[in-house]
């Protein structure tokens, strides 16, 4: 007898043999026993989960000579004909190649004829979503009121493409993707019947690549058996399917913890040179990161991991080198990279760039932690020793301007910020800078409360901070430019900003109450001056004297 692939040889022949679709088996079985059989069914789900197989079983259940029964005999003439695809009353139609109106009209014409030998005339249309819109419309009337003893069974992998008018006329069943455990158990049963020796880890690797599809997993099993013969080990499975072993994944995680980009890229090149599938490698790394995260967040990670494919002790040790949010960032990066790799002709380069991004991930700082840090710094500033009052600066004697000297704001500002040789500076200039900062960005002034100004002249401003946190917040390009702008607005000079870390004594500035009092006095003086000018103008126009 010619060889038959496992997917055909081990195709379920009864409802009891279906794997992973208990909810559908129960519903269909009850409908048979209660004689509440619908005239139209729609089976949807991913490939290889049993849609067409269930349709054929349902056809046998309805037409078995001992039925309708949920347990067809499989030996009567009708059961044999349906199994072999020779029954003229059970027609299986490919929707992809018979998707026009003409084919649907032929089907409608044939529906009117009575059955030849079977109890029900069954039409199984696979990939029904491939029918054209006109073909669907032509089918509507017949689907709503079909002749007696006619049943339609539609199967599709893309339910979203089925018109609502079709869905409303059918009983819809969604087939679930199979779990790895369900696929592994079925493959183990097949290997036992075929006298194939294979370890459980190898079966689990095949199930994982099958991605919920029993047919895909069975095809992979045939491929592995063809490579290894009657005795299959895990190494053979990895060699045939291009799977990366656990040792390489552990090495990858170790290098990722150490943030070694060159070593990681070298590892990827080694994997590619071995002929491994980089898309599967990317998916394996994602799964490994997921396992690390489960170990990180769970008290009992054993129940969330597969003991046959995971080394729990190694995972626990490596998980200590990551933060939970880092692992989530890495998973997101690789998830996007996997999609890009499928579309790109440069899959290896896409993967390598994603790995470089992995090494640059950093743990997020929580808002609560930042607030606590700021409050701690404020407390340290309040408890600092009293600041020594700055010595008043002697007023400069007026100098007669020479005819050759330039006039304007630049020269005046230059005289205002001339720095003495002893390193001191005019505190009033810094106070004006602080006022500008407070007016433009009040939140930024908090960082300047704890700094010491070492120098402020027409070339540079040197500022010292006593803690690294504040220095890091201020030394960003945006903040440095902001300080330059504030100094230029006061002095008229473009200065260089030099930030240092050391034992800083905060530079004194007038208190807020003093500044407010000075502002009020300035406003009052300006108001008085304005009122005097108005009164004088009135006297000039109308004449008279001021009465006290």
Q: Assess whether pLDDT exceeds 50 at residue 318.
A: yes
pLDDT, position 416? 37
Provide the β-strand partners of residue 40: 152
Contact between 208 and 201 under an 8 Å Cβ cutoff? The reply is no
The pLDDT of residue 403 is 41
For the stretch 302-311, pLDDT in tens is: 777 765 566 7
Question: Please, what's the b/e burial string for 473-512 (b: 16 or more CB within 10 A of its CB; e: otherwise)?
Answer: bbeeeebeebbbebbeebbbbebebebeeeebebbebeee
Q: What angle do CA 47, 52, 56 make, to 5 degrees?
A: 160
**pLDDT class of 535 with cuts at 50, 70, 90:** low
How high is the pLDDT of residue 510? 58
The pLDDT of residue 434: 86
pLDDT digits (tens, 9 = 90+) for 203-246: 888 888 888 899 999 999 988 888 888 888 888 888 888 777 77
Is pLDDT larger for residue 271 or for residue 426? 271
Give me the domains of the chain, ranges plus CATH numbers: 6-174 (3.40.50.300), 180-241 (1.10.8.60), 263-358 (1.20.272), 411-501 (3.30.300.180)
| Res 151: pLDDT | 92
For residues 118 and 78, is the Cβ–Cβ distance under 8 A? yes
What is d(CA 60, CA 41) in angstroms, rounded to the nearest whole number?
A: 15
H/E segment holding residue 295: helix 278-297
pLDDT at 415: 34
Condensed to tens digits (0 to 9), the pLDDT of residues 100-156 reads 888 888 888 888 888 888 889 999 999 999 988 888 888 888 888 888 889 999 999
Predicted TM-score of the model (pTM): 0.59
Torsion sign across C-alpha atoms 153, 158, 160, 161 = negative
Q: Distance (Å, rounded) from C-alpha 122 to C-alpha 135?
A: 19
pLDDT (tens digit per residue) in 61-102? 998 988 788 888 888 888 898 888 888 889 898 888 888 888
- Quickly state the pLDDT bin for 401 (edges 50, 70, 90): very low
Confidence of residue 400 (pLDDT cuts 50, 70, 90): very low
Residue 275 to residue 156: CA distance in whole angstroms:
35
Mean pLDDT is highest, among 31-45, 192-206, 438-452, 501-515, for 31-45
How far is CA 75 from each of CA 9, 78, 81, 84, 353, rounded to the nearest angstrom? 17, 8, 10, 12, 60
Least confident of 360-364, 396-400, 482-486: 396-400
Task: Label residue 334 by pLDDT band (50, 70, 90).
Answer: very high
User: Given the structure tokens 């006022």, which residue do they identify?
Assistant: 435
- Give the burial string for 25-62 (b: 16+ CB within 10 Å, else e): beebbebbeeeebebbbbbbbbebbbbbbbbbbbbbbb
Radius of gyration over every alpha carbon of the chain, rounded to an integer in angstroms = 41
> Does 343 score more than 60 pLDDT?
yes
Q: How far apart are CA 438 and CA 33, in angstroms?
A: 82
What tokens does 364 get?
């997020």
Regarding beta strands 171-174 and 197-198, do their DSSP bridges make them parallel or antiparallel, or are they unpaired?
unpaired
289/81 Cα distance (integer angstroms): 51
Share of the chain above pLDDT 90, in %: 15
Tokens 């910020």 — which residue?
Answer: 417
- Please state, in angstroms and rounded to a whole number, the distance separating the CA atoms of residues 131 and 133: 7
Least confident of 243-252, 343-352, 372-381, 506-515: 506-515
| DSSP, res 210 | H
**Spatial contact of 244 and 281, defined as CB atoms under 8 Å apart:** yes
Kindly report, residue by residue over 42-52, the tens digit of the pLDDT.
999 999 999 99
Provide the percentage of residues in the chain whose pLDDT is more than 70: 81
Please name every residue paired with 43 in a beta bridge, in sequence order, or none if there are none. 155, 173
Helix (H) or strand (E) segment spanning residue 154: strand 150-156
Question: What average pLDDT does range 13-35 have in this prediction?
Answer: 91
Amino acid 409: pLDDT: 34
Q: What pLDDT is stored for residue 508 in this prediction? A: 76
Instruction: Give the pLDDT confidence score for residue 173 in this predicted structure.
Output: 93
Q: According to the model, what pLDDT value does residue 404 have? A: 40
* Residue 215 or residue 521, greater confidence: 215
Following DSSP, what letter does each residue of 452-495 receive, concatenated? EEEEESSSEEEEEESSHHHHHHH-SHHHHHHHHHHHHHHHS---
User: At residue 200, does pLDDT exceed 80?
Assistant: yes
DSSP codes joined into one string, 484-510:
HHHHHHHHS---EEEEEES---PPP--
| Of the candidate ranges 202-206, 343-347, 384-388, the one whose mean pLDDT is the lowest | 384-388
Mean predicted confidence (pLDDT) in 514-534: 53
Each residue's pLDDT tens digit, 471-504: 888 888 888 898 888 888 888 888 888 888 888 7
Residue 41 scores a pLDDT above 90? yes
Coil, strand or helix at 151: strand
Quick check: 388 pLDDT over 50?
no
The single-letter DSSP state of residue 129 is: G
What are the strands of the beta sheet with 451-456, ordered from one edge? 451-456, 460-465, 496-501
**What does the pLDDT look like over 278-292, one tens digit per residue?**
888 898 899 888 888
Res. 450 pLDDT band, cuts 50 70 90: confident
| Residue 394: per-residue pLDDT | 47
Cα–Cα distance measured from residue 526 to residue 522, given in angstroms and rounded to the nearest whole number? 6
């Amino acid at each position: 007898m010619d060889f038959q692939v496992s997917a055909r040889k081990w195709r379920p022949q009864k409802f009891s043999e279906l794997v992973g679709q208990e909810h559908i088996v129960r519903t269909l079985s009850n409908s048979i026993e209660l004689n509440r059989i619908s005239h139209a069914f729609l089976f949807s789900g991913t490939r290889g989960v049993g849609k067409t197989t269930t349709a054929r079983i349902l056809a046998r259940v309805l037409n078995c000579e001992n039925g309708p029964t949920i347990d067809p005999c499989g030996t009567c003439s009708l059961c044999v004909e349906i199994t072999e695809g020779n029954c003229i009353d059970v027609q299986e139609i490919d929707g992809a190649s018979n998707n026009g109106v003409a084919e649907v009209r032929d089907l409608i014409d044939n529906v009117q004829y009575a059955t030849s030998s079977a109890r029900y005339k069954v039409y199984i249309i696979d990939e029904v979503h491939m029918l054209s819109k006109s073909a669907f419309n032509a089918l509507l009337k017949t689907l709503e009121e079909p002749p007696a003893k006619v049943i339609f069974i539609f199967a599709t992998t893309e339910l979203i493409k089925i018109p609502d008018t079709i869905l409303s006329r059918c009983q819809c069943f969604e087939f679930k993707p199979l779990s790895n455990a369900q696929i592994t158990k079925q493959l183990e049963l097949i290997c036992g019947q075929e006298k194939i020796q294979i370890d459980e880890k190898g079966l689990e690797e095949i199930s994982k690549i099958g991605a919920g599809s029993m047919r895909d997993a069975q095809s992979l099993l045939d491929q592995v058996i063809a490579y290894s013969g009657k005795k299959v080990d895990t190494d053979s499975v990895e060699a045939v399917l291009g799977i990366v072993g656990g040792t390489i994944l552990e090495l990858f995680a170790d290098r990722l913890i150490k943030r070694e980009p060159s070593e990681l890229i070298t590892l990827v090149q080694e994997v590619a040179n071995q002929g491994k599938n980089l898309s599967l490698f990317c998916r394996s790394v994602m799964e490994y990161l997921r396992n690390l995260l489960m170990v990180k967040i769970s008290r009992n990670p054993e129940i969330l991991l597969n003991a046959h494919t995971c080394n729990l002790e190694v995972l626990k040790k490596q998980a200590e080198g990551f933060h939970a949010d880092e692992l989530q960032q890495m998973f997101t990066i690789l998830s996007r990279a996997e999609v890009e790799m499928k579309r790109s002709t440069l899959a290896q380069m896409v993967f390598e760039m994603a790995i470089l991004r992995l090494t640059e991930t950093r743990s997020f700082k929580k808002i609560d932690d930042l607030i606590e840090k700021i409050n701690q710094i404020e407390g340290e500033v309040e408890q600092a020793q009293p600041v020594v009052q700055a010595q008043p600066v002697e007023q400069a004697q007026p100098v007669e301007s020479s005819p050759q000297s330039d006039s304007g704001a630049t020269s005046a500002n230059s005289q205002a910020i001339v720095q003495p040789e002893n390193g001191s500076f005019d505190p009033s200039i810094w106070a004006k800078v602080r006022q500008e900062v407070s007016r433009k960005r009040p939140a930024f002034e908090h960082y300047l409360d704890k700094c010491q100004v070492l120098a402020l002249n027409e070339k540079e401003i040197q500022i010292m901070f006593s803690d690294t946190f504040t220095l890091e917040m201020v030394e960003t390009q945006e903040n440095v430019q902001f300080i330059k702008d504030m100094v230029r607005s006061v002095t008229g000079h473009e200065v260089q900003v030099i930030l240092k870390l050391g034992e800083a004594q905060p530079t004194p500035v007038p208190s807020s109450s003093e500044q407010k009092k000075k502002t009020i006095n300035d406003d009052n003086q300006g108001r008085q001056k304005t009122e005097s000018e108005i009164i004088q103008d009135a006297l000039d126009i109308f004449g008279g004297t001021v009465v006290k």
